[in-house]
Structure formats: structure tokens, C-alpha cells
Amino acid sequence: MTVLLTRRSMVGRALAIGSTSLLTACNFDDLQHPDLADRVLRVMSRWNDRVQEALFDPTRLAPTYPASAITRPPRFNAYYDISDVRVVDGNAWRLDLFGAISEKRAWRLEDLRTLPQESQITRLICVEGWRVVGQWRGVPLGDFLRRIGADTRARYVAFRCADGYHSSIDMASALHPQTILALDFLDAPLTPAFGFPLRLRIPTKLGFKNPKSLTALGVTNEYPGGYWEDQGYNWFSGS
Ligand SMILES: Nc1nc2c(c(=O)[nH]1)N[C@H]1C(S)=C(S)[C@@H](COP(=O)(O)O)O[C@H]1N2
Ligand SMILES: [Mo]
């Protein structure tokens, strides 16, 4: 069983880097038709998403760590500098819901806090080549989706953020037990830089699939893409 799972993850990794190695191997940059090369790579990356989706095991857990492994201080990342982080007003904040959801009333922070919470010490891996271990606590996304009457047969869950960032994930990953809407980091409310008041924490995917300072969540069958995904990062990006 373990061997099979390890093989699966290796195949996933090989596929995840497949389009990049092709880029180098064929020297696409030197081609006379960079638009065509770009289109070919995009089609390959979407095909790669489908294979990763098919290989995803919804019962397989991401590794967890002891408290002693937590990285201190944590490491910030965003598409801008930490000095440009804007502060969200927690009292005025609402999580808006859109798409295939039957109960679309917006959620206040205090109401999210009344829901059962899960805690995890897991690793966040950024494509820039660093990784940190942190402790997050929040509402399992699967529980939340069922509570709001989301159509869990839909393909995608999409997220929008206070800073204009956005991302989206496949439904199987959204329902994974370790995928949470995190409210706390290291036993205290998230700080603005790390996603106050609410962020997605999904240890089965790369760091950029963990949108911070959420403002809206939706369920849809139309491919939502994302901030980095639209610039060519592989969409599925399992870690
Ligand atoms: N709103 C928002 N969320 C975001 C980003 C961002 O720029 N804006 N960057 C992503 C990237 S690339 C990474 S690696 C992680 C970093 O999370 P951290 O600051 O908690 O380490 O946040 C992700 N979520
Ligand atoms: Mo990242």
C-alpha cells in the first residue's frame, strides 16, 4: 500500500514538472512561434491537471509534524512586499458566497468561530523553493460546504481575497479532511500578513493554492483559474 502511494506521488511530481522540462529540452524559447509554444504548454498543463486529479487519493493525508518542528519566525509571501499588506477590518468583514450554494447568506467572523474547528501542524511549500512548518486551526472546508448547501458534485471551489488575489481548487481536494478555512495561526487569530481574518489552508497543495484574507468563496463548474494559475503555474499543483 505504502509503495503504491509513494509511486503515485512520484508520478504526480514527475507530471507536475513535465511541462517545465519539456520547455528546456525543446528550447521553446528559441522557436519562431512563441505564441504557439505557449498554447501547447497551456494545453499540456491542463492535461497534467486532469492526470493529477485522477491520481489524487482523497483519503491520503499530508504529513503532520510535532510542535518542535514549527518554523519560527514564519515566512511571509505574497505578490507584493510585507510592508504593503493592508489590514482588513474584522468587524465589517464578511465572507460572501456565490455559485452553486443553496444558503448564500454572507458569514461574519464570530459566526465562523462558533463552528467546530480542527488544528493541524503541517508544511507549506512555496514554488520559490522554500518550505515552513506551521500550526493552523479552522473550520474543515468540507463541513462548511455541506453546511451552506454547496453542490459538492460541482468541479471547482473558487476563492477571492482582499488584496485582489484569487485561486481555485478541485472539489475532491476541497473535501479532503485536512483542507480548512483557517482562523488561527499558532493558537492566535491570523495576523494581517498571514491572512487575517480567514485563509484557505490546504497542505496537499503548494503554497500559492493557500489564498489569504478571503472575501468570497464560490462553487462552480466553470474553470476559475487564479492569480498565478493564469500566468502559467500548473493549476492542480499537488504537493
Ligand atoms: N491573498 C493572497 N494570498 C496568498 C498570496 C498572495 O499574494 N495574496 N500568495 C500565496 C503564496 S505564493 C504563498 S507561498 C503563500 C504564503 O503564505 P504565508 O505568507 O503564510 O507563508 O500564500 C499564498 N496566498
Ligand atoms: Mo508561493
Q: 85 with 30, same domain?
A: no
pLDDT band at 34 (very low <50, low <70, confident <90, very high): confident
Query: CA–CA separation, 24 vs 21, rounded Å?
Result: 5
**Pairing mode, strands 180-185 and 118-126:** unpaired
Cis (ω within 30 of 0) for the bond into 197? yes
Does 79 contact ligand 1 (Cβ within 6 A)?
yes
Q: 174 with 210, same domain?
A: yes
- Residues, the chain: 239
Res 38: pLDDT:
87
Cβ of 189: how many Cβ atoms within 10 Å?
14
Domain holding 94, by residue range, is 67-231
Dig out the grid coordinates for 187 from the structure: 493558537
Q: Is the confidence at residue 101, as pLDDT, over 70?
A: yes
Examine residue 126 and state whether it is found in any structural domain, yes or no. yes
Examine residue 41 and state whether it is found in any structural domain, yes or no. yes
Residues 166-209 pLDDT 10s: 999 999 999 999 999 999 999 999 999 999 999 999 999 999 99
Q: 82 with 49, same domain?
A: no
Q: 79 with 163, same domain?
A: yes
Looking up residue 225, the CATH number of its domain turns out to be 3.90.420.10
pTM above 0.85, yes or no: yes
Query: CA–CA separation, 191 vs 132, rounded Å?
Result: 17
Examine residue 165 and state whether it is found in any structural domain, yes or no. yes
Best residue among 212, 214, 227 to mutate for probing ligand 1, ranked by most atoms within 8 Å of CB = 212
Examine residue 118 and state whether it is found in any structural domain, yes or no. yes
Share of the chain above pLDDT 70, in %: 87
Per-chain residues with Cβ under 5 A from ion ligand 2:
77, 126, 207-208
Q: Is the confidence at residue 150, as pLDDT, over 60?
A: yes
Best residue among 127, 190, 208, 209 to mutate for probing ligand 1, ranked by most atoms within 8 Å of CB = 208
Domain total of the chain: 2
Q: 29 with 86, same domain?
A: no
Q: 99 with 175, same domain?
A: yes
Dig out the grid coordinates for 43 from the structure: 494545453
Res 132: pLDDT:
98
Q: 88 with 181, same domain?
A: yes
Q: 38 with 142, same domain?
A: no
Q: 26 with 98, same domain?
A: no
- For the chain, the 3-state helix, strand and coil shares in percent, each to the nearest 5, are 35, 25, 40
Distance 118 CA to ligand 1 centre (A): 21
Examine residue 193 and state whether it is found in any structural domain, yes or no. yes
Q: 157 with 127, same domain?
A: yes
Q: Is the confidence at residue 149, as pLDDT, over 60?
A: yes
Q: 155 with 77, same domain?
A: yes
